[in-house]
A = this chain, B = another copy of it.
Amino acid sequence: MRLYPQSMTRLIEELGKMPGIGQKTAERLANYILRLPAEDAMALAQAIQDLKKSVRNCSICFNITETDPCHICQDANRDRTVVCVVEQPADVITIEKTGQYNGLYHVLLGHISPLESIDPEDLTMEKLLSRVKDGTVKEVIIATNLNMEGDATALYISKQLEGYEKKVTRLARGMPSGGQLEYASVAVIADSLQGRRII
């Protein structure tokens, strides 16, 4: 049964590849685009093309940027003695939004994962290590995800920096603020107990 015109089917397919977009949502979005005035639809298509053309990775921290170095690496007000290591550019945004951090970043563009055959060489690890081994950097905050791959990556980095007189820290593990013990998993409560702090 052929339901949609061919070009509609193709757009639904393309939209459906996006994360969290199922068949139903893809159809809804395609119908929305169909009803858009032509110039608005073209603006959306253009925005996608422009993004891929003008955004690259910063040659220092590998965050996404339109200028090289990126505006964070260029910012004279940033504390150059601290580097926060994250997996993806999106993680930089998340941390920036807290307004709690004024150091520099390093984006690994992934995590170490033997299962997915992702080795340190597939990441920007070499650049990170040569960057932080430099005298300026005093602390490396490892803000990779709090899962198996993120932990493996954190462990690898801390091993590589052994003997370099750098403070290597990891994000705190515990109960999320606003959380209730009743609904927390055993692992989270165990982490939270282990990391308890004097008040």
Contacts and interface: CB of A to CB of B under 8 A. Distances in A.
A49 B55 contact: no
Contact of A45 (B3, B38, B48, B66): B48
Nearest to A99: B1
A96 interface: yes
A28 B34 contact: no
A74 interface: no
A44 B38 contact: no
A43 B89 CA distance: 23
* Chain A, interface SS category: helix
Contacts of A4: 64, 93
A89 B34 contact: yes
Copies of this chain per assembly: 2
Interface size class of A (residues with CB under 8 A): 35 or more
A90 interface: yes
A89 B30 CA distance: 11
Contact of A49 (B5, B45, B51): B45
Contacts of A65: 5
B3 A51 contact: no
A172 to B, nearest CB: 24
Given A34-B52, A34-B89, A45-B45, 14 more contacts: A1-B96, A1-B99, A4-B93, A6-B54, A7-B53, A7-B54, A11-B48, A14-B44, A18-B32, A31-B89, A41-B49, A42-B52, A45-B48, A48-B48
15 contacts: A4-B64, A4-B93, A7-B47, A7-B50, A8-B64, A10-B50, A11-B48, A11-B51, A14-B43, A14-B44, A14-B47, A18-B33, A33-B48, A41-B49, A45-B46
